[in-house]
Structure 1
Amino acid sequence: MSRISFRLLEELEKGEKGHGPESCSYGLADSDDITMTFWNGTILGPPHSNHENRIYSVAIECGQEYPDKPPLIKFTSRINLPCVDQESGKVNAEKFQTLRNWKRSYTMETLLLDLRKEMAHPSNKKLPQPAEGSNF
């Protein structure tokens, strides 16, 4: 088993046991995915923002080079953020600092928490949002 697999196993265990923060969660999209490539995540919208009381869903794809290279992340819930493509829901690596400056030590949890911080950023927290429950 490669080092990458051990890293993903650690992340899976942490995500499944709920040892992370309450504001986000993640796990395998398909429990039979032995490659641990496809993941689902959720982010609770930060308080005092247009995201408050909303739950956003994301799809995460950890490629062969993860964690050396960042995963692909795409919102499945519609959201209006400058770093999210409004046609596809993909998070643009050039517009999102965590992906642009990816470090091997970062995890899916880091990614989800930093997206939540992006939602709470003063320039983004009052952006008008699509209807709750709408998807890409």
Structure 2
Amino acid sequence: MRIYGPNGTTLGSPSAPTKRTSSTGFSLPDAAAPTETRPTLQPRPAASLDALMAMQGVEDPMERRKRSVARGRGALDVLDDLKLGLLMGSFNPATVARLRAAAADLKSSSGDAGLDAVLSEIELRVEVELAKAGQV
């Protein structure tokens, strides 16, 4: 099998030039006329870093809710650790530091009114335990 030309087609004779008629109908442009050349433009840089950060900062309500639930569970776990430590008779200052961190995390809103109410009750309980730990 023999292949001719760059695309695998046989080289043929060049096509005949376009014939012009004197009618006012449709006509093709002259192929020999030079085409308009435009200088190439460089790619535009991103509008600004702030715009990119804003686009990344748009969060899904479900994702925000999941993070709020995780923060609430984390606070409940720390409260549970504090309860177990007090029942065993050992007061651990590291647990109080974890409670302070959990209280700071509970301040943000989840966007769900019911979940926010539960998180505010957890936050209140954390604050009460922090107040108790400050008296000990």
What's the TM-score, normalizing by structure 2? 0.21
More strand by share: 1
More helix by share: 2
What's the TM-score, normalizing by structure 1? 0.21
Larger radius of gyration: 2
